[in-house]
Chain A
Amino acid sequence: MIKNAGSTLLFDSSDWNFKTLSHAYDAIETIAIDELGLDVYPNQLEIISSEQMLDAYSSVGMPLMYQHWSFGKRFVYEENGYRKGHHGLAYELVINSNPCITYLMEENTMAMQTLVTAHAAFGHNHFFKNNYLFKQWTDAGAILSYMEFSKKYIAKCEERHGTSAVEAILDSAHALMDQGVFRYRRPPRLSSKKEQERARERLEYEEQTYSDLWRTLPRATGRPDPEEAERDAMERKKVLNLPEENLLYFLEKNSLILEPWQRELLRIVRVIAQYFYPQRQTKVMNEGCATYVHYTIMNRLFDQGKISEGAMLEMLHSHSSVVFQPHFDDPRFSGLNPYALGFAMMQDIERICNQPTSEDRDWFPAIAGSGRWRETLIDAWANHRDESFILQYLSPALIRKFRLFQLTDEASNKYCEVASIHNERGYSEIRKALARSYDVSANSQDIQVVDVDLLGDRQLRLEHRMKNGVLLEETSRDATLAHIRHLWGYGVSLAGVDGKTGAARYACSTG
């Protein structure tokens, strides 16, 4: 550890090399494990160049990804923005896998590399390993080999069936990615080793199975009995497990025209969508956790005299630009910054545990003044997602600090109304509204398969349960319906009903 006489600094210049990186890593690890009590996957740190970072961006942050034009489009977009200086590149990128892979940019200074190691390799890593959503919904051990399988599989399909045929299916599947996740049901686990075998078996099996949808026998003549029709419909819904929220799953299992390999493509897209679903639900917590961890570790290293003042200033500069929150009327404003909110909440919890005010004691009787901030944080990171975390831990002090206020925007009015502000009467209202805005399942469009007309024209009936009367944007809605039709093979109709009352609002269909 000790390099030049008397100096305990981990590094004393902005250049990094693998030796200083691993020294810094060891010092950070000691603090993270012993003092903060974090529990992490083994780490794998990879040094990449800026071009490779752009590549990683455009393949949604996955080290392996199948080929598709939309990633090319994203690459062109990112590269352009980067070249013109509209946006910089992230300092790091971290992948939820076991071992946890962190990308470090080669352009970073040694101080930045230290900061990033603490942020990603310990903060994010701990969160991935311990948060209940990730534990339940993603399989960190299997994702990399699954991605490898999917990349190979899709490349093979392209060779066998032509690029455009594969692209057509993938385009349609991408359009339904938001509607391709299970929100309430545990998905079956991937076991990557058996994946290839399973694919082959499924192909054989699919070709032999009998699907009730293909029933073409004429029915007994005479007027259909309404009761019998009712019974039939019930029966059918039971067989098909309707209503079904996961459109991709439904199409994969029940579509009438897809070849086995096409079903496998839908499955791949679905698995990837499912894998990213927890990340969308824990943006604030995940970044908050990582930012809080790096901030704590940096300060501890500085107190131990392992970081020079210059390096500390550099870190603080980038830290404060990451957690900067512009006001709503600032031209730089683009919504609440998850880093800022998350970091502020973590720090606030620490404050409430150690130096509570009387207000905090009223609001958080369980943790105020307990002094157990470490345990409280670790428990929160493990058992919450953004919505529940904010609902439980957003304190009045923070609402005042951010000067939060709530706007009500009703389509029928020409104005927005300020519903509540950061005062006694507004705290709990604002807390509820903010938590709701982070509820992913409440904010994504709820579209479900409700029925299939098996005996008539085999039309697929979808239902859009509208929340607060929010409609769908029509051009993209129709284009997406066309994609569903492409996968289903017959007509598709969509009916919008009011989420609360169930009253029909609109209906549209593809021919």
Chain B
Amino acid sequence: MPNFIDRRLNPKDKSLGNRQRFLKRAREELKRFIKDRVKTDKIADVDSDHAVPMPARGASEPTFQPARGSGDRQYVLPGNRDYMPGDRIDKPQGGGGSGSSAGKGEDEDNFQFLLSREEVLELFFEDLELPDMIKLSLKEAVAFKPRRAGFATSGSPTNINVSRTMRNSYGRRIALQRPKRKTLEALAQEIEALATEPELGIAERRHLEDLRVQLDLLERRRRRIPYVDPVDIRFNRFERQPLPNANAVMFCLMDVSSSMGEREKDLAKRFFVLLHLFLKRRYDRIDIVFIRHTDEAGEVDEDTFFYSTQSGGTVVSTALEEMLRIIQERYPAKEWNIYAAQASDGDNVSRDSDRCASLLTSELMRLCQYYAYVEIIDERESEIFGSTDNGTSLWRAYRTVDGEWPNFQMTRIARPSDIYPVFRKLFARQPTLQFR
């Protein structure tokens, strides 16, 4: 007799630790890959599962391997049809034939595996230097709240719905004619009354017998049909309902004149992605509106926004006007939470900057929940400027707005790690999710 063991109940994911170690090892390469993905993907798709290729470096396991196409080898192969000794077969181009020496050369070239959303975000956050708590809260999925949703035949004992259960049991008892206790008691009394009679006639005795049989029958029937049967039981059923959230719209404004190069756009994109991640956590539905501007502004789709260049001057106020127009047209501030993020290298036509500031203070800032402005500069410039007030004309103009409105944030960034400070205030107001 063998020893059978059921291992299926063992804890799962025995390999998870090893998988994590492997990812850690290939981290640099995967990070580079995710970075490229962020450049090409849509903003809203960044936090999803990603298939990534097997990292080549950092995860190689070298051993002494025979070199292909060197030396003399012998192969024995099956399935000869018409070869005769002495026949010559041209070697396939690119190394030796695939003989019986096909070792561990598994084709890992086009091999892809899935990174989960958490792993992807971990890699994305890497250079942004976010505080841990923020990272955790960004990775969190939407909050759910259980909501009553009818009844179920199974559930946990704490959720038994007594009234519904008893209603079912009552119906069943009527249908199956479960004798009531009153009738039984009445019968028993009758029997007792008869039994205590000193003298009984034959008919009465027979009647007593009948009664006893009937009582016996009823009692058995009562035992057979339970008062509450498992089929009667009903449980309260709950559905996990996502917390109702208002809608948000996110305006991405960017200067696309030729002064914004690859690096600047990449930084700007990360900035937008981070804002989007934050909004995604709080709101059910997020619309993203992309407005690009040179000396005129227009709403475009995401691809155009990031990848096509326009030439022309730079008039920032056009973008703000366009944004205002769209808000009035489609996103009434009563129904929408409006967020805006603007990225620019600070170039602007002279005298236009003041107009921007006044547009913001008079109109836009009243409508917006939050307005973030980042100015993308060179690493060298960042050392010169630091956090001083002088800078481009746009910067100086926005400084006035910054002083006036608490929900306005601005900063200069040269490195990915400079992005987070813009949002610091935003994240600092950890809104407690309210159950409505």
Contact = CB atoms under 8 A, between A and B. Distances in A.
Interface stretch (B70-78, B315-323, B371-379): B70-78
Contact of A403 (B81, B100, B114): B81
Interface string B124-165: 000000000000000000000000000000000000000000
Contacts of A436: 74
A72 B23 CA distance: 8
B201 interface: no
Contact of B6 (A47, A408, A477): A47
A432 B223 CA distance: 84
A68 interface: yes
Interface stretch (B89-97, B283-291, B327-335, B427-435): B89-97
Interface string B95-123: 01111111000101001111000000000
A403 B71 contact: no
Interface string B16-27: 011111111100
A71 B102 CA distance: 21
Contacts, number: 261
Given A46-B7, A416-B97, 18 more contacts: A18-B4, A48-B8, A49-B8, A52-B8, A72-B15, A76-B22, A121-B2, A176-B63, A335-B99, A402-B78, A403-B80, A407-B97, A416-B75, A422-B80, A436-B74, A468-B72, A475-B62, A477-B62
Q: Interface majority SS on A: helix, strand, loop or mixed?
A: mixed
A416 B98 CA distance: 12
A175 B71 CA distance: 24
Nearest to A78: B15
Contacts of B72: 408-411, 468-470
B3 A434 contact: no
A158 to B, nearest CB: 11
Contact of A416 (B64, B79, B91): B91
Interface stretch (B53-61, B170-178, B252-260, B269-277): B53-61
A329 B79 contact: yes
Contacts of B69: 411
A308 to B, nearest CB: 23
**Residue from A328, A333, A483 having most chain B Cβ neighbours under 10 A:** A328
Contact of A404 (B6, B80, B99): B80
B2 A25 contact: yes
A334 B18 CA distance: 30
Contact of B18 (A42, A67, A403, A430): A67
A325 B78 contact: yes
Interface string A401-422: 0111111111101111111111
A327 B99 contact: no
Contact of A77 (B84, B96, B111): B111
Interface string A224-253: 000000000000000000000000000000
Interface residues of A, number: 100
A75 B63 CA distance: 20
Contact of A417 (B4, B20, B78, B87): B87
B5 interface: yes
Given A72-B21, A476-B62, A470 B5 contact: no
B1 interface: yes
Given A335-B100, A420-B85, A437-B100, A409 B73 contact: yes
A136 B59 CA distance: 35
A22 B68 CA distance: 50
A333 B87 CA distance: 21
Given A51-B12, A416-B89, A470-B70, A175 B100 contact: no
Given A80-B111, A177-B63, A418 B86 contact: yes
Interface stretch (A53-61, A191-199, A289-297): A53-61
Interface residues of B, number: 68
Interface in B41-63: 54, 59-63
B10 to A, nearest CB: 7
A411 B113 contact: no
Interface string A425-441: 11000100110110000
A63 B349 CA distance: 71
B68 A44 contact: no
Q: Helix, strand, loop or mixed for chain B's interface?
A: loop
B361 to A, nearest CB: 54
30 contacts: A42-B3, A44-B3, A44-B5, A45-B2, A47-B4, A48-B8, A52-B10, A55-B14, A58-B18, A69-B25, A71-B18, A72-B18, A73-B54, A73-B59, A80-B111, A177-B63, A328-B79, A328-B80, A402-B79, A407-B76, A409-B75, A415-B88, A418-B84, A419-B74, A437-B74, A437-B76, A464-B64, A467-B71, A474-B67, A475-B62
A21 B2 CA distance: 10
Given A406-B75, A468-B72, A415 B22 contact: no
A76 B71 contact: no
A471 B108 CA distance: 24
Contact of B73 (A22, A54, A106, A470): A470
A169 to B, nearest CB: 14
B65 interface: yes
Contacts of B61: 70, 171, 174-175
Nearest to B12: A51
A26 interface: yes
Interface in A119-178: 121, 163, 167, 171, 174-178
Contacts of A416: 75, 88-89, 91, 97
Nearest to A326: B79
Given A470-B71, A471-B70, A69 B7 contact: no
A39 to B, nearest CB: 16
Contacts of B24: 69
A443 B64 CA distance: 12
Contacts of A445: 64-66
A490 B97 CA distance: 39
A475 B60 CA distance: 11
Given A179-B64, A480-B63, A70 B2 contact: no
Contacts of A73: 22, 54, 59
Interface of A: 18, 21-22, 25-26, 42-49, 51-52, 54-55, 58-59, 67-73, 75-77, 79-80, 99, 103, 106, 121, 163, 167, 171, 174-179, 325-330, 333-336, 402-411, 413-422, 425-426, 430, 433-434, 436-437, 443, 445, 447, 464, 466-477, 479-480, 483
Contacts of B18: 58-59, 67-69, 71-72, 75
Contact of A69 (B22, B77, B88): B22
Contacts of A47: 4-8
A415 B85 contact: no
A426 B85 CA distance: 9
Contacts of A406: 74-77
A75 B65 CA distance: 23
Contacts of B15: 54-55, 58-59, 71-72, 75
A171 B25 CA distance: 12
Contacts of B66: 445, 470-473
Contacts of B112: 80
B74 to A, nearest CB: 5
B21 A178 contact: no
Contact of A72 (B2, B6, B20, B106): B20
Contacts of A330: 79
Contact of A45 (B3, B60, B81, B108): B3
Contacts of B106: 77
Nearest to A178: B63
Contacts of A467: 71
A409 B75 CA distance: 8
Contacts of B96: 409
Contacts of A70: 22, 61
A59 B17 CA distance: 12
B41 to A, nearest CB: 21
A501 B66 CA distance: 20
B26 to A, nearest CB: 8
